[in-house]
Structure 1
Amino acid sequence: MSSPRVVVVGGGVIGLSIAFHLAEAGVDTTLLERDTLGSGASRATADVVRSYFAGNPVSSALAVRSLEAYHAFPTRPGIDLPLRQVGYLVLFTEADQVTAFEADLPAQHAAGVDVNLISAREARERNPLIGDFPLVAAAYSPQAYISDTTAIVTAYARAAEQAGATLRTGCPVTAIDTRAGLVRTAAGDVSADAIICAAGAWSASLVREAGVDLPLTEPIEQELLTTDPLPPDTPDIPVTLHAATGLLVRLRGDRLLIGMGYPGPDREAWRRQVAERLAATYPSLAGLALHTAVTGLRDASPDKTAFIGHHPGPPAFLYATGFSGHGLCNAPAAGELVRDLYLDQDPGFDVTALALSPRRAG
């Protein structure tokens, strides 16, 4: 039986950020991952890091803090990271969407988000692919970048190991026993003074075993699609979201990467809906074949805001889960907050907005 001081369960971008920040602070840290690093939700991302999350200034504040960390990657942890600024455009087709945006705007600005309302004309100038459908206005934030999730996962893993953390892959956790201070795996028990659950879609049962009843929804399978090669004169465009339908597109090389909600049980029907919405929003792309780009299981919370909290021990139990697709954008800040909660130091953030509370009980 090994005796690390802290065990982090989950080797996605959140767990690796936590492991890096703890090890950097001198904490004896072991991370346990059921498969390979970044093999869960971290493999099903659009490689976009942005700051604006509509109606969710808490996630936006985490993302603003995380963007600062991503920009600082060359000096800490000391690894160059691709960041190509493209901006984030949200298309409004209904007046009440504009009303909701304007009501949310003060909180977004207070969170540090650079986002503002622009006209339909300016939206079409920023994305010339937009078709001639009724467009009321749009939101635009320049704080959106194309990065590389695999590079981020690899960077955090390398930096965590260099700081002294132990990363164990192919080691699924079967149970958490907080009374005994044990993390149970098929390869044997691992003891710890603190256990941190960052297991993404596999978090719900683990946090319940630790006596924390987070209202996490059932794991959702995410699928992103890609098109056949685009015409050679296709212009560069921002990451663009059609607010009414959830159609999200960005350029990836000579193709378009597409997301729109979740496939559900009838994947073919969902694909037809995506193709129809793509043709209606971007008529010049109608008829392009769609193919699976990536799939992965995603965790989710009822309000689409992460749960990050700390239950004192011994052993202490901490959790960082329910990121609802915001994990890549929130990962650096999540690692910093969990480190500070564990070390009982000021995180410089109102963590009560992230912890389990009656308001967030589902």
Structure 2
Amino acid sequence: MTGGRVAVVGGGVIGLSVACHLAEAGADTVLLERHGLGSGASRATADVLRAYFPGNPVSSAMAVRSLAAYRAFAGRTGTPLPLRRVGYLVLFTEPEQVAAFEDDLPAQRAAGVDVRPIGAAEARGRNPLIGDIGLLAAAWSPQAYVSDTAAIVGGFAAAARRAGADLRTGCPVTGIDVPAGRLATTGGTLAADAIVCAAGAWSVPLARAAGVELPLAEPVEQELLATGPPPSGDPVPDIPITLRAGSGLLVRKRGDGLLVGMGYPGPDREEWRERVRAELAATYPSLDGAGLRTAFTGVRDASPDRTAFIGGVPGDRPFLYAAGFSGHGLCTAPAAGELVRDLYLGREPDFDVRRLAATAQRG
């Protein structure tokens, strides 16, 4: 389908990428966002762009092609985009973690990821904050950058508007009728010839109304924490983005301390913070006592295998979806926008999008 109006539900980085790609392809595009642009999951990111997603070569392949788009972002959108290359380091302390990395390595390289095994000495050289954690080996990928999520959101929005898209904020969608081509909003009814659901944590009921079951977990709140400077007074060195396999402790340098993430808080936020504090102290002892405070929070959608769902239901008024990014949305947004655009236009994507469909057998 190439004519008529397309309504994109959701104004995060995924919805904005979709709207931008559709509008630039000539589609009459309107985007509907319940709050402000980038106010959901896009608000709680570590500003990290990386290509390597351990154990998830599908997300890695999308991230590789997205990195290429981010390198060309300023020329395309007119928005300067910082890309400070820092690299990505994954720490292995158990033999089974090393074995899993080796098993995954061929698929990662086939996806275009530049990643290799390194020894403990090289890993400590790259991140001298690492303490005595029984480090066996590590994975190193230079394809990782610290960027600016707000600039990405703003760039996609500006490019979408320049291409003719109508971006409406403060406009929650309360229901959809796909066969009739209608969306109910708090501001009235909107007619559309195609609907794209990119509503993140709020995608499930909208997709269900179109007959699509997205097996997403209940919406979860992500929290990123920040430390103060080391109690010793020594400056934090320029370290790579570093993940400790097993615990999921992820850190990067931010200001005079670290930005810290470790999964989702769950119902007992204080208990989770204590676990983060203990893992941080064990992994980076020089930061013990540096304190932890909330840096960002945001609600995220999560798929069972942490791989996004992208697909659609064809028809006179097609329904398309892009959801379940599980915190990977910033890294894969350009590729997601390209794939949804191609599905809408009836093009054959140069990526096997069938494995991203909600009906695909995955895992």
Does TM, scored on the shorter chain, surpass 0.5?
yes
Residue in 1 aligned with 2:350? 348
Decide whether the 8 Å contact of 1:299 with 1:323 is kept in 2.
Answer: yes
Residue in 2 aligned with 1:116? 116
Instruction: Quote the offset at 1:196 in angstroms.
Output: 0.1
Decide whether the 8 Å contact of 1:194 with 1:313 is kept in 2.
Answer: no
In 2, the alpha carbon distance for the partners of 1:166 and 1:4 equals 14
Instruction: Quote the offset at 1:266 in angstroms.
Output: 1.0
Instruction: Quote the offset at 1:78 in angstroms.
Output: 2.9
Q: Tell me, which stretches of 5 or more residues in structure 1 are unaligned? A: none
1:349 alignment partner, SS class: coil
The size of the alignment, in residue pairs, is 359
- Matching residue's letter, 2:287: L
Instruction: Answer yes or no: is 1:174 the counterpart of 2:174.
Output: yes
Decide whether the 8 Å contact of 1:66 with 1:333 is kept in 2.
Answer: yes
- Matching residue's letter, 1:123: A
Residue in 2 aligned with 1:10? 10
Instruction: Answer yes or no: is 1:239 the counterpart of 2:224.
Output: no
Decide whether the 8 Å contact of 1:4 with 1:30 is kept in 2.
Answer: no
- Matching residue's letter, 1:121: A
In 2, the alpha carbon distance for the partners of 1:169 and 1:233 equals 42
Instruction: Quote the offset at 1:358 in angstroms.
Output: 4.8
- Matching residue's letter, 1:9: V
Decide whether the 8 Å contact of 2:229 with 2:287 is kept in 1.
Answer: no
- Matching residue's letter, 1:343: L
Q: Give the TM-score normalised by structure 2.
A: 0.97
The more displaced of 307-316 and 229-238 is 229-238
2:315 alignment partner, SS class: coil
- Matching residue's letter, 1:257: L
Residue in 1 aligned with 2:208? 208
- Matching residue's letter, 1:255: G
2:347 alignment partner, SS class: coil
**Identity of aligned pairs, percent?**
70
Task: State the superposition RMSD in angstroms.
Answer: 1.2
In 2, the alpha carbon distance for the partners of 1:187 and 1:257 equals 39
In 2, the alpha carbon distance for the partners of 1:204 and 1:173 equals 13
Decide whether the 8 Å contact of 1:44 with 1:294 is kept in 2.
Answer: yes
In 1, the alpha carbon distance for the partners of 2:4 and 2:224 equals 38
Correspondence 1:294-333 to 2 at 5 A: 294-333=296-335
Decide whether the 8 Å contact of 1:309 with 1:320 is kept in 2.
Answer: yes
1:160 alignment partner, SS class: helix
In 1, the alpha carbon distance for the partners of 2:309 and 2:125 equals 38
Instruction: Quote the offset at 1:79 in angstroms.
Output: 2.1
Instruction: Quote the offset at 1:232 in angstroms.
Output: 4.6
- Matching residue's letter, 1:353: R
Residue by residue, what CA displacement relative to the aligned partner does 1:48-92 show, whole Å, maximum 9, x if unpaired? 000000111000000000000000112212321010000000000
Instruction: Quote the offset at 1:229 in angstroms.
Output: 3.1
Decide whether the 8 Å contact of 2:215 with 2:303 is kept in 1.
Answer: yes
Residue by residue, what CA displacement relative to the aligned partner does 1:12-37 show, whole Å, maximum 9, x if unpaired? 00000000001111110000000000
- The equivalent position to 2:288 in structure 1, one of 286, 289, 313, is 286
Decide whether the 8 Å contact of 2:84 with 2:146 is kept in 1.
Answer: yes
Instruction: Answer yes or no: is 1:45 the counterpart of 2:45.
Output: yes
Q: Give the TM-score normalised by structure 1.
A: 0.97
Residue in 2 aligned with 1:264? 266
Residue by residue, what CA displacement relative to the aligned partner does 1:223-275 show, whole Å, maximum 9, x if unpaired? 00001234353211000001111110001122210001111111111111111
In 2, the alpha carbon distance for the partners of 1:95 and 1:17 equals 40
In 1, the alpha carbon distance for the partners of 2:165 and 2:116 equals 42
Decide whether the 8 Å contact of 1:92 with 1:136 is kept in 2.
Answer: yes
In 2, the alpha carbon distance for the partners of 1:350 and 1:252 equals 37
Residue in 2 aligned with 1:84? 84
1:159 alignment partner, SS class: helix
Q: Tell me, which stretches of 5 or more residues in structure 2 are unaligned? A: none
In 1, the alpha carbon distance for the partners of 2:108 and 2:11 equals 31
Decide whether the 8 Å contact of 2:88 with 2:241 is kept in 1.
Answer: yes
